[in-house]
Amino acid sequence: MKFKRLINKSKETRRKYEYYLGLGYSEHAAKVLSVVTYGDEKLVFLVKQLGRKNVVEELYAWLHERKEETPGEAIEAFYEEKHPRPEYEEERLLGCSGAGIMPCVSAPVRAASRRVAAKKAAPSLAVKENVVMCCEACEEIPPWMADEVDSELMEALSTDSYEPIEEKDAKNVFTSPTSTFRMTTSNASMGIVFNQIRSGRRVNMDEVRIEEVLNYFDYEAEAPEDAKFAICTELMEKKGNKKILFIDAQAAREKKEHQNIILLLDTSGSMDDDNEVTQEAVATVFSKLKAGDRISLVTYSTKDHTWLKGFEIKDSRSKEELMGIVLGIEITGCTYGSAGIEKAYAIGEKFYKPDWNNQVILITDGDLNFGITDKHGLKGLIEEKKKSNLFLSVIGAGLYNYKDDNLEVLSKHGNGTYCVVNNLDDVDESVNRRFIALTNIVAKDVKAQVEFNPRFVKSYRLLGYENRQLNHEDFKNDKVISEPYGSGGHGIALYELEMNEEESPTASSDLKYQKPVLTNSDELGSVSIRFKEPLSDKSSQIETAVYNTNHSTQNIRLAYFLYCLSEKLRGSDKLDEYDEQFLDVMITSEFYKNFSGANKEKLEMLMDAFKHNAF
């Protein structure tokens, strides 16, 4: 088998090969990993025959000697030679990838299938009464169905779930002088949006969390060196008596000397279509480990399985040994996620080191259909587990069966970060480039409170953060949890302000700008950030003033542009005439190409979708 021909067959394969090389894998390992993906039972069978030692090298040598055109053909031929089961494939095509009872597809699935099949007049889309969909508790869409039917049917079958978003109106400063919310560094929503666009699916409002779209991009700000947080603000004239306020809360860069990572991998049947991107994410995590670090590997489907316990990294070859283990893992069964979480935390506690980074990293589509499955139960489980001082970060992957609402609960209450990956670009951005933020938590329960001076501001509207807003009194209540910050992470907030044309009356209050003696202050407002150290239950607080002086850089223009795009993605009616004009100028003039670095590539993808009427 000619590896060079295989790798150069497509730009995608070539890119994967170069990516694995860039992570530090050997040439042989990069070649194997770019053309072979874990999860298939036939590959698992081959790995067992090769002896499970030096798997990557053994697999390279074995493929090199084969006469077939592709690894898939070679593995299939070997499997049939050594393990013939002539009736198996027909059973599997109609059956469940898991074990146990296999009832028929639900009535809605059959109805949707027939409806689209009739419309398209395509016999291949007909779903018979005896087609089954995994075990009794599952609602997973079989991978064979996702491969063979069109997007309209898959939309009808989709079981994605998101927390609903209800957009907020502006608030009057005199009656609501403070705006309080859970600050976040999450960028998961942007990963979801990119995935929808790539797959040609409609983007819905609940998928577009504006603050997470803003967080996905880079801003020019210096991380604090002798403080936990730095707050940067900018103010830009909008039109008439309106202005845009930009806030960037940037965390310090901190990194523990050693890592104790427990990688928890969902290997249930619904992850079958995501095995390629999952393999890339796993390989990236392994590549970041250095000598002395410890890694554990736990998988879960119908049952959980422990592959590694506290494996100590010796040298650069260790990561290839680890990837050899991954290639011997099969994707099959239902999703007993709570059991996997229990096992991962138990192992993490065993190898816990107080001065290390102790982190569980969960890779999943969030579809939990065995054990604890509801959000309330998951919240209780992870709240209990975080008492061990282990942090849980989530890497989400999936399409048509993605449970974003579950993953938000797990990451928020597990004191970890959350990102979404569905192709190599996502992995490179959110796992490779931001690995230190993903794994090194520097603060938890981070909250923001902005107080506006009624002398200048008549009303305000926080753009985004609909599901993260808090009451005024929650800010100083340490029992009200918030979200964590990873090392060097940033959280962006954007406000639309309506300015006063004449001075507003004040009332007696303990708030800063409601006291008559300070009413004439030149401060437009103040921004406060409250947080806890990772292993502390006591909060600290910092504050900075915002002055009524326009000061704008590329940062605020980028954030405002992204806000306007986000509202378009949502199909919202919140954009006014000036917003529409600003967006039109940015796009028609292609000014967005002036944004530097990685921002340009990300924006060009959004613009391509915009110009083709994707939203």
What does the pLDDT read at residue 113?
Answer: 43
Phi, psi of 95 (to 5 degrees): -110, -170
CA distance 468 to 180: 9
Residues 338-352, mean pLDDT to the nearest whole number = 93
Pair of tokens at residue 155: 């939309």
What does the pLDDT read at residue 137?
Answer: 44
Q: CB-based contacts of 502: which residues, under 8 Å, 6+ apart?
A: none
CB-CB neighbours of 270 under 10 Å:
35
CA distance 584 to 578: 10
- Confidence label for 593 from pLDDT (cuts 50, 70 and 90): confident
Domain boundaries, the chain: 3-88, 95-157, 171-183+243-251+443-611, 259-438
Q: How do residues 364-401 score in pLDDT, each as one tens digit? A: 998 877 666 677 778 888 888 888 999 999 999 987 78
Q: Are 340 and 367 in contact (CB under 8 A)?
A: no
Q: Is the predicted pLDDT of residue 223 greater than 60, yes or no?
A: yes
CA distance 201 to 155: 8
What does the pLDDT read at residue 505?
Answer: 53
CA proximity to 142, closest of 201, 89, 96, 196: 96
Q: What is the 3-state secondary structure (H, E, C) of 534-567?
A: CCCCCEEEEEEEEECCCECCHHHHHHHHHHHHHH
pTM: 0.85
Q: How do beta strands 357-364 and 259-266 pair?
A: parallel
What dihedral angle (degrees, nearest 10) is formed by the CA atoms of 277, 265, 184, 534?
-140
CA distance 212 to 190: 6
Q: Is the predicted pLDDT of residue 171 greater than 90, yes or no?
A: yes
Kindly list the distances between the CA atom of residue 467 and the CA atoms of 194, 212, 443, 470, in Å, as whole numbers in the listed order. Answer: 21, 12, 21, 9
CATH class of the region 259-438: alpha beta
The alpha carbon dihedral of 9, 14, 20, 24 has a sign of: positive
Amino acid occupying residue 164 = P
- Confidence label for 473 from pLDDT (cuts 50, 70 and 90): very high
- Average pLDDT of the chain? 84
